[in-house]
Structure 1
Amino acid sequence: MKHPPAAHILPHLVGPEEAARILGVKPGTLQVWRSTGRVNLPYVKIGGKVKYRLSDLERFIENRLCQHTS
């Protein structure tokens, strides 16, 4: 018997369209990253649907922060 994911986890997951909007890329870019492994951005498949944890998206952004040194 399948059980739905815990309710407290679901608000922290977003689909590729929302993840792309957050990152400022196209959903197709995320698909390329998933299929090639070119960019390390964790995702999970639930019922055949791709989901991203908001915490992973935040970490992805934090790891790409640039600081001006001039």
Structure 2
Amino acid sequence: MSTAREQPDPRAMLRAGLPDRYLTPDDIAEIFEVPKETVYQWRKKRLGPPGFRIGKHLRYDPADVRTYVTQRKTADHDAA
């Protein structure tokens, strides 16, 4: 019997609602289907969802990710 909890697919979580925990760069890369290096480049260039540091660890607030996606959808819709 395994005691480790299986993590759901982050892309499915974005469609169904993000988890109630801070997201990692790996989560962001998987959600947006981009390499993790792209996530770090977005942060360096101030693109993508805003992240923050907890000690040496980069984390993303699910609410900020939701806001980022909504803004992108609105910007893309307005540009069309």
Instruction: Flag whether TM exceeds 0.5 (same fold).
Output: yes
Q: Name the count of aligned residue pairs.
A: 57
Structure with the greater relative contact order (CA < 8 A, sep ≥ 6): 1 or 2? 1
User: RMSD across aligned C-alpha pairs, in angstroms?
Assistant: 2.0
Aligned AA (2:64): D
1:25-60 CA distance string (max 9 Å, x none): 2211110011122x1521110120000011111111
In 2, the alpha carbon distance for the partners of 1:58 and 1:12 equals 13
TM-score, normalization by structure 2? 0.59
Aligned AA (1:22): I
1:24 shift after superposition: 2.4
Runs of 4+ in 1 over 2 A off after TM superposition: none
Runs of 5+ consecutive residues of structure 1 not aligned to the other structure: 1-10
TM-score, normalization by structure 1? 0.66
Aligned AA (1:17): D
Runs of 5+ consecutive residues of structure 2 not aligned to the other structure: 1-19
Contact 1:23–1:57 at 8 Å: present in 2 too?
A: no
